[in-house]
Structure 1
Amino acid sequence: MEPNINNMNNVGSHQQDVYNNNNGDGSSSSSTSTSTTPINNSGSKASSATTEEDYILSIDVGTTNIRAIIFDKQLNIIAKSIENIPLIIDQNRPGARLAWVLENIEEARVAAKEKNMLFGTIDTWLLWNLTGGKAHCTDYSNISTTSLYDPYEMKFNSVIQYLFNIPQHIMPKVCDTAFHYGDTLPELFGRAIPITAMAGDQQSAMFGQCCFKTGDTKVTIGTGCFVDINTGRQARASRTGMYPLIGWKIKDDIAYLMEGKGMAAGTAVDWACQFGMFEHVAQTSGLASSVPHSQGVVFVPAFTGLAPPQNDPTARGLLIGMTPSTKREHVVRALLEALGYRAKEIIDGLVLDNHTTISKIVADGGVCQNDFVMQFSADMVGRPIDRADQHEMTAAGACMLAGLGHGLWKTKEELIPLRKTSRLFESRMNKDNRKKLFRRWQRAVQRSMHWASSEDVHGDNDDGFGQDSDLDTSTSQHSSTGSYNGVLNSASTSSISSLDNENKK
């Protein structure tokens, strides 16, 4: 029997879809992984000498799509989903969004009061549908991203719930990251498959990178720019606007992370491509490397504001420093350099918090496959950056967690040899030049700040331009003030669902 993941497109089709994914800004999404029992796979392309082998199906819910990937025990990819499933993007935090829904939508308020509504992150929705409504759960890593859960006391924040009238009974059960959550419906994959792990997006990638020790640091540059550092067995507070997360919890083993994010990374590159600056993203590294410097041009990708350390939602994108001699190559180089500057800002913020010393820096994400971005980031940070060989790191981390939950591996130490290095980027820039370039970046950032009014940020002002006739109506329905248009729009990674009568608990 060959692993079949084509049925993933039908998951949840029996139920009204009222769950929307998060993350226009790249904030934490979730990844769910299921672990199979041994199945006959003689017709697959696995390199195993036997006809039976364990495979792990990892469902990666990213910023803009869902991918289903099957791994073997050596983390080789056996099969992938045929096509991406586009998700509606929303930029708000789950806790605030849920509070808005309960305050402004009568149907939701009544459903919650009558115990006919459930809340959860996107993994909760996947689990609910994969199990046919038998499991309403999440894990510690996902729930810690919602602002409804206190990572310091390891319990739901009763103060937040009281202030915003959020009932506890709609919350999912919180379980270990590697845990037997239930089994999939047999009709989905031809047999029931145990679901043995769920993890948040960046936490899963952190686990896949084998960042198991205090001080291990991961840079992910994809749609957004994330930096996570393992702070050990204790949640830490930040002076620069970073936020503590639960990395994973497996029985008595718990790891906390401190995370900082950049608002735009890959989205800025895509914007430039659509703008006609280049025909394909793959061209950018060559264009940027074809000139020795940006000739003073700086690009600040603050399309939706600036995250820590500036924490300015009114900042907007800025391209500055152009002269009549500025070429396309200079602008492309400035665009890619911005990603390295953002990584440096976040890492500097983590260092300033002084909770732990950075022991190593590893990297993953689609934009990290760009050699110029990686080299410039290493130059700016002043440390070597180890780029992973595995491109699907979030899915790989969920796969590892599922394997641990299913018993394919007994300890985390068994996983370390599976993590391979693609290339190690050493810092080659001298300290004086690094300081000079970074000071120029900081000047540009200051000029980009405090541009939009509060009305612009909250969508209450058209800024004199009126309505854009080219605006996608699906986007306009998901403004920061929220809406109700036949479905409930969830926040960030949150999801809200009315229970089917037959599944009502």
Structure 2
Amino acid sequence: MSNPSRLLVIDEGTTGTRALVFDGTGTIRSRAYSEFTQYHPAADRVEHDPEEIWQLTSARITDALRRDGTEPAALSAIGITNQRATTVLWDRSTGEAVAPAIVWQDLRTAAMAADLAPEWGAAVQARTGWTLAPVYSSLSLCWLLENDRDLARRAEAGELAFGTIDSWLVHRLTGGRTHAISASNAAVTGAYDLLADRWYEEWLGALGLPMSLFPDVVDDSGLIATTDPSVTGAETPITAAIADQSAALFGQGCVRPGDAKTTHGTGTFLDVNTGTEPVISRHGLSTIVAWRRDGVTTYGLEGYAPVTGSAVQWLRDGAELLTEAAETQELARGVEDNNGVYFVPALTGLGAPSWDSSARGLLIGLTPGTKRGHLARAALEGIVYSIKDFIELMSQESGQAVTTMRADGGASANDFLLQFQADMLGATIHRPSNVEATAFGAACLAGLGVGVWSDPQDCFRATGDDAVFTPSMDEATRDANYTQWQRAVERAKGWAVRP
């Protein structure tokens, strides 16, 4: 039976903005997408223009609604899902950004993180669930204030507001009335105390960050705010704001402890639902707030490799070995094996469990017989090896053996990648028919927030698998391949020596 409800989802990624309209059956009715500019003012820096993101978001919302023939007043609710840990700073009175957004991939605070680690590393990891690293929004915020005296003065005077991309969009959608951050996004800033369930004031005090900068922490699903009709054309409830990996975990139906998914995007993320008690990793994995609904928090463990899909983009745009990223599947299948070639995609350092921001990308094993297909295959295999680096730790620390998982994200359309993932992880991989799991998760949570669906299972009734990949590699081959990968990773570490 059809459901006339309409839900607008804003899916704000690292490279582009997408607006989608869903109906009450979870079906996408329309979508609109634009890439936005990636700024690299120095080798270790990645920035976005918050104003450009907002302008493109506003335009794509208009496009998506027009394509579905939906008026703003007819929307049941709005859901937001976003790239995490990107730092946005704006003026409370004008509502305008006062600095470029520092993207989660940025490495400018690597030296700061290394200097603080001896005194604060263990403490912040135990309280925030994240290894002290450049991805911390709190460090990026500290850098902005340390490098601009006027910003520091205005922050002390209470004139500035900090937030992640969800905060920025809520701020703009509400005409500046609301300064909030969802629990899942707060937990990724490296500034939120998971055990005390509040901002980690001791750490922020040590960084010299005024608490007035920080937004209110709200549920990921429920009434967060209402849009300003002068901005959006109607008063519409915003009933979901959730970090992208958490949205994908929910959208994949991973609502029980032990359920796991991988998202293959700019980076590759592996997340497992660990239930209602936080599990603080002892081996460099990250503790996330999967989502918070009705004041009840569900937690997860996460491992991520920051550069995987973007390594394939580098083969296309940087090395110019590809015309389209999708070519990698045909190229990889055109060679019998990797011919001893390994690609460690540490273009911006290594994530869990190594957490080495000084590591750099490495191609090793090249011989006169190396062909383009071997390089493409090595890039795809490197994505999977990056996951295998932390999956066993995840199973051990969560107390749940991961023998099956779901996969989403743009690169999940690559059959070679998912089959190799099944082979190397010894796990059955399910690819859903709808690979827009991130946007779908935000739609589900927004719909639950206004009663479009009564419980999570209602959201998932229309979902199914597009393909299932089962392991076919023998254990000896798997172990031999992985041993070689580990040797390659060791050679990539510590390459960018601090001056």
**Same topology, TM > 0.5:** yes
For the pair 1:320 / 2:364, whether they are aligned, the reply is yes
For the pair 1:190 / 2:233, whether they are aligned, the reply is yes
Instruction: Name the residue aligned to 1:421.
Output: 465
Match of 2:329 among 263, 285, 298: 285
For the pair 1:232 / 2:264, whether they are aligned, the reply is no
Q: Distance in 1 between matches of 2:304 and 2:215?
A: 26
Residue 203 (structure 1) shift: 0.6
Deviation string, structure 1 residues 65-87 (Cα, Å, up to 9, x no partner): 11111111122111212533446
Residue 306 (structure 1) shift: 1.1
1:236-247 correspondence to structure 2 within 5 Å: 236-247=279-290
Paired residues of 1:320 and 1:444 also in contact (CA < 8 A):
yes
Instruction: Name the residue aligned to 1:72.
Output: 23
SS of the residue 1:181 aligns to? strand
SS of the residue 1:322 aligns to? coil
SS of the residue 1:129 aligns to? helix
Match of 2:214 among 166, 171, 176: 171
Could you state the TM-score of these two structures normalised by the residue count of structure 2?
0.78
1:146-165 correspondence to structure 2 within 5 Å: 146-165=189-208
Output the amino acid matched with 1:71.
F
Paired residue total: 406
Paired residues of 1:244 and 1:257 also in contact (CA < 8 A):
yes
Deviation string, structure 1 residues 314-364 (Cα, Å, up to 9, x no partner): 211111112212221122111111111111112122124354333631111
SS of the residue 1:255 aligns to? strand
Instruction: Name the residue aligned to 2:445.
Output: 401
Paired residues of 2:423 and 2:470 also in contact (CA < 8 A):
yes
Output the amino acid matched with 1:66.
T
Q: Distance in 2 between matches of 1:383 and 1:212?
A: 19
Residue 291 (structure 1) shift: 1.5
Paired residues of 2:138 and 2:204 also in contact (CA < 8 A):
no
Paired residues of 2:279 and 2:398 also in contact (CA < 8 A):
no
Instruction: Name the residue aligned to 2:320.
Output: 276
Instruction: Name the residue aligned to 1:338.
Output: 382
Match of 1:254 among 282, 294, 297: 297
Deviation string, structure 1 residues 10-40 (Cα, Å, up to 9, x no partner): xxxxxxxxxxxxxxxxxxxxxxxxxxxxxxx
Q: Distance in 2 between matches of 1:321 and 1:360?
A: 32
Paired residues of 1:301 and 1:316 also in contact (CA < 8 A):
yes
Residue 217 (structure 1) shift: 0.8
Paired residues of 1:67 and 1:85 also in contact (CA < 8 A):
no
Change (3 A) 1:354 1:68: closer
For the pair 1:374 / 2:418, whether they are aligned, the reply is yes
The answer to which of 129-138 and 388-397 deviates more is 388-397
Kindly name which structure, 1 or 2, has the bigger radius of gyration based on alpha carbons.
Answer: 1
SS of the residue 2:449 aligns to? helix
Identity of aligned residues (%): 37
Q: Which has the higher contact order (CA 8 A, sep 6+)?
A: 1
Match of 2:393 among 326, 349, 363: 349
Paired residues of 1:215 and 1:360 also in contact (CA < 8 A):
no
The answer to which of 392-401 and 347-356 deviates more is 347-356
Instruction: Name the residue aligned to 2:144.
Output: 101
Deviation string, structure 1 residues 169-212 (Cα, Å, up to 9, x no partner): 22111111112122212244432211111101101111111110
Q: Distance in 1 between matches of 2:11 and 2:257?
A: 26
Q: Distance in 2 between matches of 1:234 and 1:267?
A: 33
> Any stretches of 5+ residues in structure 2 without a counterpart?
39-47, 49-101, 107-133
Instruction: Choose between structure 1 and 2: higher helix proportion.
Output: 2
Change (3 A) 1:221 1:323: same
Q: Distance in 2 between matches of 1:222 and 1:354?
A: 24
Q: Distance in 1 between matches of 2:240 and 2:267?
A: 25
Residue 261 (structure 1) shift: 0.7
Q: Distance in 1 between matches of 2:146 and 2:7?
A: 41
The answer to which of 181-190 and 241-250 deviates more is 181-190
